[in-house]
Every structure is written in C-alpha cells, then in structure tokens.
Amino acid sequence: MNRHRWWRDAVIYQVYVRSFLDSTGDGVGDLAGVRAGLPYLRKLGVDGVWLSPFYRSPQHDHGYDVADYCDVDPVFGDLDEFDRLMTAARQLGVKVLLDIVPNHCSSEHPWFREALGSAPGSPARARFHFADGRGPDGAEPPNNWHAMFGGPAWTRITEPDGRPGQWYLHMFTPEQPDWNWRTPEVAAEFDRVLRFWLDRGVDGF
C-alpha cells in the first residue's frame, strides 16, 4: 500500500464507539472496547478505522455536539486509553481516522458560553453567527432558514442584562451553534485541534 496514498484503496471501517464493544459491562461501548476489537477487524481485512465522535459532549446529538475537541468524554475513557488504542493500532498496522466536527460545537463549549455572556458585536460573538432579529423588537428570526432536523435555524438568546437579545445560527439543533469560519480565530483553533490529534498519532480526519 502506498504510504502517502494508502487511503485510495484502503478498507475503512466506521466505528460508532458507543455501540461497538463495551469493555466495562456498563452497557456503553468505549475506547478500550475498540482497542479489544482491533485484531478481529484486522483479520477481516480492515486497513483503517474511522472513529465517530468520542470527544467530551453533552450528547444531545450522538457526540456531534462537541464541548471539548481535545478531550475524551469520560463515558468512553480518557486520553491515556486513546493512546493505548493508538499503540495497538500501530502494532496491527491499522490506520486511525477521527470524525472531526468543524461546522458547529456544543452550546456547552466554553467559547459559546463566553459569547452568551458578551455584548453584541464582541469578539466572542464573532466566533459564531449572531444577528439581530426582524420585526418589532427583533422578535422574528433574521431570515427564514430551517435547520436540518426541522424548525427554524435560529434561536434567540437572553442578553446578560436580561433583555431579549440577538439570535444565533444552528443548522442542526439549538444545542449545536454554528462556527463562523470567517473569523480567523476559529480557523486557528481548528489548526490547534488537528495538530493535537496528529501529535497523538492519528492518520487523518
């Protein structure tokens, strides 16, 4: 297999960590379970595993609402367990890909919590898509966009002083505010996140 283009012909197996293999008997799959299942997957001819989100998350959308991109949700293990998984994968010749979530984060992400406590037009809000509403007192969403799961793609917040405030964009659930990629700080943060996982040995995203 070409070392630099291995992915062109590789057999990739997607692993939904929560339901793959439970190593502790608590009814929830975990990273230790993924590690235990790697030899079997290798025997099947799998060249790489694509891990669905296992990051720290309130789990409103199966882990796709990420509160911390550089940590493991305790229900799945911890960073030490992830490192053990990577070591096992290397020994078996299995590549590891991570499902990164660049469109949105969790409403519990520290940056979004900061945005809620900041003023309209602030740098904290610029990381997301905040806008004034339409109509009297801005009581209507900024536009008629609908979320992927139905309903408006905008949710109104209460400003720090208690007044009804701006609206924020979420193309999925209200618990998943969309990042504003026009803000350089967002791109820089994702560069940091990708480097964090690459430094731990992952092969791609």
The answer to whether the Cα torsion of 147, 150, 152, 157 is positive or negative is negative
Q: What is the predicted pLDDT for the residue at 137?
A: 92
Q: What is the predicted pLDDT for the residue at 2?
A: 59
- Between CA 164 and CA 146 the distance in angstroms is 21
- Between CA 175 and CA 153 the distance in angstroms is 11
Whether the Cβ atoms of residue 153 and residue 167 lie closer than 8 Å to each other: no
* Mean pLDDT taken over the chain: 97
Q: Which helix (H) or strand (E) holds 196?
A: helix 184-199
Helix (H, G, I), strand (E, B) or coil at 148: coil
Q: Strands 12-15 and 48-51: what pairing? A: parallel
How many alpha carbons fall within 13 Å on the CB side of residue 115? 28
Asked if residue 1 has pLDDT above 60, the reply is no
How far out from the chain centre does Cα 111 lie?
14
Q: What is the predicted pLDDT for the residue at 104?
A: 99
- The token duo for 39 is 């030899």
Whether the Cβ atoms of residue 66 and residue 57 lie closer than 8 Å to each other: yes
- What's the pLDDT tens digit per position in 49-103? 999 999 999 999 999 999 999 999 999 999 999 999 999 999 999 999 999 999 9
Residue 145: which pLDDT band, with cuts at 50, 70 and 90?
Answer: very high
- The token duo for 8 is 């062109």
Residue 5: which pLDDT band, with cuts at 50, 70 and 90?
Answer: confident
- What's the pLDDT tens digit per position in 7-59? 899 999 999 999 999 999 999 999 999 999 999 999 999 999 999 999 999 99
Query: Which whole-number Å values give the CA distances from 129 to 36, 70, 116, 143, 175, in the listed order?
Result: 42, 23, 12, 13, 14
Q: Which domains does the chain have, with CATH numbers?
A: 6-102+184-200 (3.20.20.80), 110-169 (3.90.400.10)
Strand spans (E) along 16-146: 48-51, 55-56, 68-72, 95-98, 130-131
Let me know if 49 is exposed, middle or buried by CB neighbors in 10 A (0-12, 13-18, 19+).
buried
How many alpha carbons fall within 13 Å on the CB side of residue 97? 18
